[in-house]
Amino acid sequence: MTRRIFLQATAALAAVCVFAGAQAQTTALKFQLDWRFEGPAALFLVPAAKGYFKDANLNVSIDAGNGSGGTVTRVASGSYDIGFADLAALMEFHANNPDAANKPVAVMMVYNNTPASVMALKKSGIKTPADLNGKKLGAPVFDAGRRAFPIFQKANGITGVQWTAMDPPLRETMLARGEVDAITGFTFTSLLNLEARGVKGDDVVVLPYADNGVKLYGNVIIVSPKLIKENPAAIKAFLQAFAKGVKDVIANPDAAIESVKARDGIINVALEQRRLKLAIDTVVNSADARAEGFGQVKGPRLSLMASQVSDAFNTKTRVNPDAVWNGSFLPSAAELNVLPNKK
Protein backbone atom coordinates (compact mmCIF):
# COMPACT_ATOMS: atom_id res chain seq x y z
CA MET A 1 0.00 0.00 0.00
CA THR A 2 1.41 3.37 -1.04
CA ARG A 3 1.61 6.22 1.43
CA ARG A 4 -1.01 8.13 -0.55
CA ILE A 5 -3.49 5.25 -0.49
CA PHE A 6 -2.76 4.70 3.22
CA LEU A 7 -3.47 8.36 4.01
CA GLN A 8 -6.69 8.29 1.98
CA ALA A 9 -7.83 5.14 3.75
CA THR A 10 -6.96 6.64 7.14
CA ALA A 11 -8.86 9.84 6.34
CA ALA A 12 -11.89 7.87 5.17
CA LEU A 13 -11.85 5.75 8.32
CA ALA A 14 -11.59 8.88 10.47
CA ALA A 15 -14.57 10.40 8.66
CA VAL A 16 -16.60 7.26 9.25
CA CYS A 17 -15.70 7.32 12.93
CA VAL A 18 -16.65 10.98 13.25
CA PHE A 19 -19.96 10.32 11.48
CA ALA A 20 -20.65 7.30 13.65
CA GLY A 21 -19.81 9.32 16.74
CA ALA A 22 -22.17 12.07 15.69
CA GLN A 23 -24.89 9.50 15.05
CA ALA A 24 -24.31 7.91 18.44
CA GLN A 25 -24.79 11.26 20.16
CA THR A 26 -28.30 11.68 18.75
CA THR A 27 -30.89 10.90 21.41
CA ALA A 28 -34.25 9.44 20.42
CA LEU A 29 -37.17 10.78 22.48
CA LYS A 30 -40.80 9.70 22.36
CA PHE A 31 -43.15 12.61 23.08
CA GLN A 32 -46.91 12.51 23.59
CA LEU A 33 -49.30 15.43 23.38
CA ASP A 34 -52.30 15.83 25.66
CA TRP A 35 -54.79 15.81 22.78
CA ARG A 36 -55.21 15.62 19.03
CA PHE A 37 -53.23 17.45 16.37
CA GLU A 38 -55.02 20.78 16.77
CA GLY A 39 -53.79 24.39 16.80
CA PRO A 40 -51.90 24.36 20.14
CA ALA A 41 -49.92 21.29 19.02
CA ALA A 42 -47.98 23.71 16.79
CA LEU A 43 -46.00 24.70 19.89
CA PHE A 44 -44.26 21.33 19.58
CA LEU A 45 -44.65 20.56 15.89
CA VAL A 46 -42.96 23.80 14.74
CA PRO A 47 -39.62 23.17 16.49
CA ALA A 48 -39.71 19.68 15.03
CA ALA A 49 -40.54 20.90 11.52
CA LYS A 50 -37.89 23.63 11.65
CA GLY A 51 -35.21 21.19 12.76
CA TYR A 52 -34.64 22.74 16.18
CA PHE A 53 -34.80 19.35 17.90
CA LYS A 54 -32.55 17.85 15.24
CA ASP A 55 -30.04 20.68 15.67
CA ALA A 56 -29.96 19.80 19.38
CA ASN A 57 -29.03 16.20 18.47
CA LEU A 58 -32.51 14.97 19.34
CA ASN A 59 -34.68 12.66 17.27
CA VAL A 60 -38.13 13.51 18.65
CA SER A 61 -41.22 11.57 17.60
CA ILE A 62 -44.48 13.34 18.43
CA ASP A 63 -47.75 11.45 18.91
CA ALA A 64 -51.28 12.70 19.54
CA GLY A 65 -52.86 12.02 22.92
CA ASN A 66 -56.33 11.35 24.31
CA GLY A 67 -56.28 13.31 27.54
CA SER A 68 -53.76 14.44 30.14
CA GLY A 69 -54.40 11.48 32.42
CA GLY A 70 -53.38 9.08 29.68
CA THR A 71 -50.23 11.08 28.91
CA VAL A 72 -49.16 11.03 32.56
CA THR A 73 -49.75 7.28 32.77
CA ARG A 74 -47.80 6.53 29.60
CA VAL A 75 -44.80 8.59 30.67
CA ALA A 76 -44.96 6.85 34.06
CA SER A 77 -45.00 3.45 32.36
CA GLY A 78 -41.96 4.27 30.25
CA SER A 79 -43.88 4.12 26.97
CA TYR A 80 -42.98 7.78 26.45
CA ASP A 81 -40.01 9.81 27.63
CA ILE A 82 -41.67 13.23 27.59
CA GLY A 83 -45.24 14.45 27.48
CA PHE A 84 -47.56 17.44 27.64
CA ALA A 85 -50.21 17.25 30.35
CA ASP A 86 -52.35 19.20 32.77
CA LEU A 87 -50.45 19.82 36.02
CA ALA A 88 -53.52 18.85 38.06
CA ALA A 89 -53.53 15.42 36.40
CA LEU A 90 -49.85 15.00 37.27
CA MET A 91 -50.50 16.04 40.88
CA GLU A 92 -53.36 13.56 41.12
CA PHE A 93 -51.16 10.73 39.84
CA HIS A 94 -48.47 11.54 42.41
CA ALA A 95 -50.90 11.68 45.32
CA ASN A 96 -52.82 8.54 44.32
CA ASN A 97 -49.69 6.50 43.58
CA PRO A 98 -47.34 7.39 46.43
CA ASP A 99 -45.36 4.16 46.10
CA ALA A 100 -44.98 4.26 42.31
CA ALA A 101 -41.34 4.05 41.30
CA ASN A 102 -41.64 6.15 38.14
CA LYS A 103 -43.71 9.24 38.88
CA PRO A 104 -43.25 11.81 36.06
CA VAL A 105 -42.03 15.28 36.96
CA ALA A 106 -42.99 18.66 35.49
CA VAL A 107 -40.00 20.57 34.09
CA MET A 108 -41.53 23.53 32.22
CA MET A 109 -44.76 25.50 32.51
CA VAL A 110 -46.47 26.14 29.16
CA TYR A 111 -50.08 27.06 29.99
CA ASN A 112 -49.57 29.44 32.91
CA ASN A 113 -53.32 29.48 33.50
CA THR A 114 -55.70 26.57 33.21
CA PRO A 115 -57.65 26.84 29.93
CA ALA A 116 -60.72 25.48 31.73
CA SER A 117 -63.91 27.50 31.77
CA VAL A 118 -67.66 27.10 32.17
CA MET A 119 -69.56 27.88 28.97
CA ALA A 120 -73.29 28.48 28.56
CA LEU A 121 -75.61 29.97 25.98
CA LYS A 122 -76.79 33.52 26.67
CA LYS A 123 -80.42 32.46 26.26
CA SER A 124 -80.01 30.30 29.39
CA GLY A 125 -79.82 33.44 31.50
CA ILE A 126 -76.45 32.41 32.92
CA LYS A 127 -74.22 35.46 33.19
CA THR A 128 -72.09 34.90 36.30
CA PRO A 129 -70.87 31.90 38.34
CA ALA A 130 -73.70 32.52 40.83
CA ASP A 131 -76.21 31.77 38.08
CA LEU A 132 -74.97 28.17 37.98
CA ASN A 133 -76.73 27.35 41.26
CA GLY A 134 -79.03 24.37 40.72
CA LYS A 135 -78.12 24.05 37.04
CA LYS A 136 -77.32 20.94 35.00
CA LEU A 137 -73.71 20.86 33.81
CA GLY A 138 -72.18 18.47 31.32
CA ALA A 139 -68.68 17.23 30.55
CA PRO A 140 -66.76 13.97 30.11
CA VAL A 141 -65.88 12.51 33.51
CA PHE A 142 -62.15 12.99 32.84
CA ASP A 143 -62.46 16.60 31.66
CA ALA A 144 -59.95 18.85 33.45
CA GLY A 145 -62.57 21.54 34.06
CA ARG A 146 -65.01 19.06 35.54
CA ARG A 147 -62.36 17.51 37.78
CA ALA A 148 -61.38 20.95 39.07
CA PHE A 149 -64.94 22.27 39.29
CA PRO A 150 -65.09 21.84 43.11
CA ILE A 151 -62.37 24.51 43.32
CA PHE A 152 -64.36 26.84 41.04
CA GLN A 153 -67.51 25.96 42.99
CA LYS A 154 -65.96 26.79 46.35
CA ALA A 155 -64.42 30.04 45.10
CA ASN A 156 -67.80 31.23 43.84
CA GLY A 157 -70.22 29.78 46.38
CA ILE A 158 -72.05 27.58 43.87
CA THR A 159 -74.49 24.92 45.13
CA GLY A 160 -76.87 22.31 43.79
CA VAL A 161 -75.13 21.51 40.52
CA GLN A 162 -76.14 18.30 38.73
CA TRP A 163 -73.71 16.60 36.34
CA THR A 164 -74.33 14.78 33.08
CA ALA A 165 -71.51 12.72 31.61
CA MET A 166 -70.93 12.25 27.89
CA ASP A 167 -68.22 11.39 25.39
CA PRO A 168 -66.13 14.41 24.27
CA PRO A 169 -67.71 14.73 20.79
CA LEU A 170 -71.18 15.13 22.35
CA ARG A 171 -70.33 17.84 24.88
CA GLU A 172 -70.90 20.92 22.71
CA THR A 173 -73.74 19.23 20.82
CA MET A 174 -75.70 18.67 24.03
CA LEU A 175 -75.21 22.30 25.06
CA ALA A 176 -76.32 23.54 21.65
CA ARG A 177 -79.44 21.37 21.90
CA GLY A 178 -80.24 22.63 25.39
CA GLU A 179 -79.83 19.19 26.98
CA VAL A 180 -77.51 20.74 29.59
CA ASP A 181 -77.40 24.29 30.92
CA ALA A 182 -73.63 24.65 30.75
CA ILE A 183 -70.45 22.70 30.07
CA THR A 184 -66.88 22.72 31.29
CA GLY A 185 -63.96 22.46 28.89
CA PHE A 186 -60.88 24.19 27.56
CA THR A 187 -62.06 27.53 26.17
CA PHE A 188 -60.11 27.25 22.94
CA THR A 189 -61.57 23.80 22.34
CA SER A 190 -65.23 24.07 23.30
CA LEU A 191 -65.88 27.62 22.11
CA LEU A 192 -64.75 26.83 18.58
CA ASN A 193 -66.50 23.46 18.65
CA LEU A 194 -69.73 25.26 19.48
CA GLU A 195 -69.26 27.55 16.50
CA ALA A 196 -68.70 24.49 14.32
CA ARG A 197 -72.13 23.31 15.48
CA GLY A 198 -73.80 26.50 14.35
CA VAL A 199 -73.67 28.50 17.58
CA LYS A 200 -72.50 32.08 17.14
CA GLY A 201 -69.61 33.12 19.38
CA ASP A 202 -71.57 36.16 20.55
CA ASP A 203 -74.27 33.84 21.87
CA VAL A 204 -71.89 32.06 24.25
CA VAL A 205 -71.12 33.10 27.82
CA VAL A 206 -67.59 32.12 28.85
CA LEU A 207 -66.60 32.03 32.53
CA PRO A 208 -62.85 31.30 32.61
CA TYR A 209 -61.62 29.70 35.81
CA ALA A 210 -58.63 32.05 35.81
CA ASP A 211 -60.91 35.12 35.85
CA ASN A 212 -63.17 33.77 38.58
CA GLY A 213 -60.96 33.09 41.58
CA VAL A 214 -59.21 29.93 40.38
CA LYS A 215 -55.51 30.46 39.68
CA LEU A 216 -54.64 26.90 38.75
CA TYR A 217 -51.67 26.30 36.50
CA GLY A 218 -52.46 24.52 33.23
CA ASN A 219 -50.37 22.25 31.03
CA VAL A 220 -46.73 21.47 31.63
CA ILE A 221 -43.99 19.45 29.98
CA ILE A 222 -43.41 16.28 31.97
CA VAL A 223 -40.50 13.86 31.84
CA SER A 224 -39.82 10.38 33.15
CA PRO A 225 -37.55 9.89 36.19
CA LYS A 226 -35.53 7.49 34.05
CA LEU A 227 -34.69 10.27 31.58
CA ILE A 228 -33.79 12.63 34.43
CA LYS A 229 -31.37 10.05 35.78
CA GLU A 230 -29.87 8.80 32.54
CA ASN A 231 -29.85 11.82 30.22
CA PRO A 232 -30.52 15.18 31.89
CA ALA A 233 -28.70 16.92 29.02
CA ALA A 234 -31.38 15.71 26.61
CA ILE A 235 -34.07 17.36 28.75
CA LYS A 236 -32.23 20.68 28.69
CA ALA A 237 -31.70 20.42 24.94
CA PHE A 238 -35.38 19.62 24.38
CA LEU A 239 -36.56 22.61 26.43
CA GLN A 240 -34.15 24.98 24.68
CA ALA A 241 -35.34 23.87 21.25
CA PHE A 242 -38.96 24.03 22.37
CA ALA A 243 -38.61 27.59 23.70
CA LYS A 244 -37.07 28.66 20.40
CA GLY A 245 -40.02 27.14 18.57
CA VAL A 246 -42.58 28.81 20.85
CA LYS A 247 -41.12 32.20 20.02
CA ASP A 248 -41.59 31.45 16.32
CA VAL A 249 -45.16 30.25 16.85
CA ILE A 250 -46.16 33.37 18.77
CA ALA A 251 -44.56 35.58 16.12
CA ASN A 252 -46.47 33.92 13.28
CA PRO A 253 -49.29 31.63 14.47
CA ASP A 254 -50.95 31.46 11.05
CA ALA A 255 -47.86 29.96 9.44
CA ALA A 256 -47.37 27.64 12.41
CA ILE A 257 -50.56 25.76 11.56
CA GLU A 258 -48.83 24.34 8.48
CA SER A 259 -46.91 22.06 10.84
CA VAL A 260 -50.22 20.80 12.24
CA LYS A 261 -51.70 20.26 8.77
CA ALA A 262 -48.63 18.20 7.90
CA ARG A 263 -49.65 15.76 10.65
CA ASP A 264 -53.40 15.88 10.04
CA GLY A 265 -54.28 16.84 6.49
CA ILE A 266 -58.03 17.18 7.10
CA ILE A 267 -57.90 19.97 9.69
CA ASN A 268 -59.74 23.23 9.07
CA VAL A 269 -56.75 25.56 8.76
CA ALA A 270 -58.66 28.78 9.52
CA LEU A 271 -60.31 27.21 12.57
CA GLU A 272 -57.03 25.88 13.95
CA GLN A 273 -55.36 29.25 13.40
CA ARG A 274 -58.06 30.82 15.57
CA ARG A 275 -57.71 28.05 18.16
CA LEU A 276 -53.96 28.56 18.39
CA LYS A 277 -54.28 32.33 18.72
CA LEU A 278 -56.91 31.92 21.42
CA ALA A 279 -54.65 29.54 23.33
CA ILE A 280 -51.70 31.93 23.06
CA ASP A 281 -53.72 34.92 24.24
CA THR A 282 -55.47 33.20 27.15
CA VAL A 283 -52.96 30.79 28.65
CA VAL A 284 -49.49 31.14 27.05
CA ASN A 285 -49.07 34.91 26.83
CA SER A 286 -51.44 35.73 29.69
CA ALA A 287 -50.87 38.48 32.24
CA ASP A 288 -49.86 35.86 34.82
CA ALA A 289 -47.38 34.29 32.40
CA ARG A 290 -45.74 37.61 31.68
CA ALA A 291 -45.56 38.40 35.40
CA GLU A 292 -44.02 35.06 36.36
CA GLY A 293 -41.94 34.45 33.24
CA PHE A 294 -42.53 31.86 30.53
CA GLY A 295 -41.78 28.33 31.62
CA GLN A 296 -41.63 29.10 35.32
CA VAL A 297 -43.81 28.73 38.41
CA LYS A 298 -44.11 30.59 41.69
CA GLY A 299 -43.74 28.54 44.88
CA PRO A 300 -46.72 29.93 46.82
CA ARG A 301 -49.09 29.52 43.87
CA LEU A 302 -47.82 25.98 43.22
CA SER A 303 -48.34 25.07 46.89
CA LEU A 304 -51.86 26.49 46.88
CA MET A 305 -52.71 24.48 43.79
CA ALA A 306 -51.31 21.32 45.39
CA SER A 307 -53.60 21.84 48.37
CA GLN A 308 -56.63 22.62 46.20
CA VAL A 309 -56.09 19.56 44.00
CA SER A 310 -55.69 17.35 47.07
CA ASP A 311 -59.08 18.51 48.35
CA ALA A 312 -60.98 18.69 45.05
CA PHE A 313 -59.74 15.35 43.73
CA ASN A 314 -59.95 13.65 47.15
CA THR A 315 -56.51 12.10 46.66
CA LYS A 316 -55.17 9.21 48.75
CA THR A 317 -52.30 11.36 50.02
CA ARG A 318 -51.66 15.10 49.96
CA VAL A 319 -49.91 16.48 46.90
CA ASN A 320 -46.29 17.43 47.59
CA PRO A 321 -45.53 20.45 45.35
CA ASP A 322 -41.78 19.87 45.66
CA ALA A 323 -42.15 16.36 44.24
CA VAL A 324 -44.08 17.32 41.10
CA TRP A 325 -41.89 20.21 39.91
CA ASN A 326 -38.21 20.40 38.92
CA GLY A 327 -37.14 23.69 37.37
CA SER A 328 -33.43 22.87 37.14
CA PHE A 329 -33.61 22.00 33.43
CA LEU A 330 -35.08 25.32 32.31
CA PRO A 331 -33.23 27.32 29.64
CA SER A 332 -31.58 30.63 30.47
CA ALA A 333 -33.60 33.78 31.07
CA ALA A 334 -32.66 35.03 27.62
CA GLU A 335 -33.87 31.79 25.98
CA LEU A 336 -37.12 31.95 27.96
CA ASN A 337 -37.77 35.51 26.82
CA VAL A 338 -40.34 34.46 24.22
CA LEU A 339 -43.43 36.45 25.22
CA PRO A 340 -44.09 39.77 23.49
CA ASN A 341 -45.69 42.61 25.39
CA LYS A 342 -49.46 42.49 25.30
CA LYS A 343 -50.80 44.88 22.68
CA-CA distance, 272 to 41, in Å (whole number)?
10
Nearest to 94 by CA among 312, 301, 327, 306: 306
Tell me: do 225 and 109 sit in the same domain.
Answer: yes
Tell me: do 94 and 230 sit in the same domain.
Answer: yes
Residue ranges making up the domain that contains 259: 8-113+217-329
Tell me: do 103 and 41 sit in the same domain.
Answer: yes
Q: What is the pTM of this model?
A: 0.90
Does a structural domain hold residue 181?
A: yes
Q: Pick the last residue of a domain from 147, 182, 211.
A: 211
Distances (CA, A) of 294 to 72, 112, 181, 229: 22, 8, 36, 25
Residue type, 343: K
CA-CA distance, 276 to 235, in Å (whole number)?
25
Query: To 5 degrees, how large is the angle CA 285–CA 323–CA 229?
Result: 95
CA-CA distance, 247 to 260, in Å (whole number)?
17
What is the strand order of the sheet 27-32 is part of? 58-63, 27-32, 82-86, 219-223, 105-109
CA-CA distance, 275 to 254, in Å (whole number)?
10
CA-CA distance, 245 to 43, in Å (whole number)?
7
Tell me: do 17 and 106 sit in the same domain.
Answer: yes
Tell me: do 94 and 76 sit in the same domain.
Answer: yes
Return per-residue pLDDT of the chain as tens, 343 residues.
565 555 555 555 555 444 444 445 899 999 999 999 999 999 999 999 999 999 999 999 999 999 899 999 999 999 999 999 999 999 999 999 999 999 999 999 999 999 999 999 999 999 999 999 999 999 999 899 999 999 999 999 999 999 999 999 999 999 999 999 999 999 999 999 999 899 999 999 999 999 999 999 999 999 999 999 999 999 999 999 999 999 999 999 999 999 999 999 999 999 999 999 999 999 999 999 999 999 999 999 999 999 999 999 999 999 999 999 999 999 999 999 999 976 5
Tell me: do 320 and 222 sit in the same domain.
Answer: yes
Tell me: do 222 and 105 sit in the same domain.
Answer: yes
Please count the structural domains in the chain: 2
Q: Pick the last residue of a domain from 211, 238, 260.
A: 211
